[in-house]
Amino acid sequence: MKDKKTKMAVFDLDGTLLNDHRAISSSNAAALRELDENGYEVVLASGRPEILMRVYYLGLPFIRYVISSNGGLIRDVRTEEKIYQQPIEPQAIQRLVEICDRTGAECDLYSYDGMSGIPTGEIDRELTDEIVFDFKNHILKNRQMGQFPCEKIFITQKDPEKLKALRQEIAEKVPEAEISQSSFQALDIMSKGINKGTAVKWLAERLEIKPQEIAAFGDHINDIEMLEYAGTSIVCSNAVEEVKQRVRFVLPESNHQSGIAAGIMRYLLRRE
C-alpha cells in the first residue's frame, strides 16, 4: 500500500488536543500535520459522538481514522466506512434508561448519527461552536431505545454521592455495561469491554502497527486504557492526577498552552 503508515499517534479531544475555547490551536494543527508527513497515522479518539468531532477532523484532511463514543465506533472518514462498531445491547439500554428515569439522572445516547437529548437542527448550548444536525437517535415518548444502534450512554449526575450510588447500581443491574468517566460529574457507559484502549488495539492490529510504535495523548480516566496500551503515553499538565501517575511523560504545558504541539516536538519528532 503506497500510503501505509508504520506509526500511530492517537489524540483525545476535550482537555487534550482542544484548548479551553474548544479549538485546535494553529501550533497543534501544524504539529499534527508534521506527524502525518513523518509517517504517523494521526487518529482522533473521543468520548464524543462522531457528529461532534466532524468540525475538527474536516479541518485536518490528512486524518483518516476517527474513534468516537469512547471506543464504540471507528470510521474510515476517507471511504466513509464504519469499520468497527460495538453498540450496547438493546435490553441493557432499556434498563439504563429506566434507572435514569427513576433516579432523575440526565441521560444522553450517542450514536454515529447523533445524540439523544438534542432535537434535530438545534444547537447544543454547551458546545456553541458546533451545529448539531440530522439526528436519528432521539428520545421517543415511550422511551423504547433498543431500535437504535447506541455505542455510548452519557449519564450526568452532579451530586458526587448520588453519582457513586448510580455507578454501583448500574454495575449490579447492568453487568453487560462498561463504566468509565470523562468527567467527575458523569458516567460513560459502553458495551462490556469497550473503551478507547480496545478500539486503538483493534485499529493498530488492522493497520499492522505495533504498540511500541504508538503514541497516545489524553487527560482523563476514560483515556487510561488507551494510554497504557501505547508504547509512548503523554499528557498535558491539566490531566487528572490518577492519569498523570500512569503515563510516561507529563508535560509542563497545559492543553490551553498548545501542550500537544510541545509534546510532539519534544518526544516524537525530537525537536525543541
Provide φ and ψ at 100, rounded to 5°. -65, -40
For residue 107, what pLDDT is reported? 83
Question: pLDDT tens per residue, the chain (272 residues)?
Answer: 456 899 999 999 999 999 999 999 999 999 999 999 999 999 999 999 898 899 999 999 999 999 999 999 999 999 999 999 999 998 898 899 889 889 989 888 887 766 665 333 333 444 433 333 333 334 433 445 555 678 999 999 999 999 999 999 999 999 999 999 999 999 999 999 999 999 999 999 999 999 999 999 999 999 999 999 999 999 999 999 999 999 999 999 999 999 999 999 999 998 76
For residue 109, what pLDDT is reported? 83
Cell numbers for 31: 504539529
Checking DSSP bridges between strand 73-76 and strand 106-111, what pairing results, if any? unpaired
171 with 179: CB under 8 angstroms?
yes
For residue 3, what pLDDT is reported? 66
Q: Which pTM was predicted? A: 0.89
* DSSP line for 58-117: TT-TT--EEEEGGGTEEEETTTTEEEEE-PPPHHHHHHHHHHHHHHT-EEEEEETTEETT
For residue 146, what pLDDT is reported? 52
